[in-house]
Amino acid sequence: MEVRRHTKPTQVIGPFGEALSLADLPKNNMTRWVIRRKAEVVAAVNGGLLSLEEACARYDLSLEEFCSWQDTIDKSGLPGLRISYLSKYRTASS
């Protein structure tokens, strides 16, 4: 009897349609998060390249921070990850 083990993919499709591997992800000592880096980490988790726990530990993110990136991409796309955009959005909807 053969046991199938879930293996992680070696590459996933990145936020801009490019192949993304672990080597392509942002460095783990990231202090300045730009849109592209946030989107790459979200794409890596969504594609199974990293687990949510691995991403949070690797980048010292809280679960809430990562989920806010993921929710923002789902609701507003990549432009939503801009801090100025979020500030404008929050002000307009308050």
Contact partners, residue 13, CB within 8 Å, separation at least 6: 19, 20, 43, 47
The answer to whether 83 and 68 are in contact (CB under 8 A) is no
pLDDT at 37: 95
pLDDT at 80: 86
Q: What is the mean pLDDT of residues 21-31?
A: 91
pLDDT at 56: 96
Q: What is the mean pLDDT of residues 35-39?
A: 95
Q: What is the mean pLDDT of residues 47-65?
A: 95
Question: In order of start, what are the domains of the chain with their CATH numbers?
Answer: 12-20+32-93 (1.10.10.10)
Q: What's the whole-model pTM score?
A: 0.81
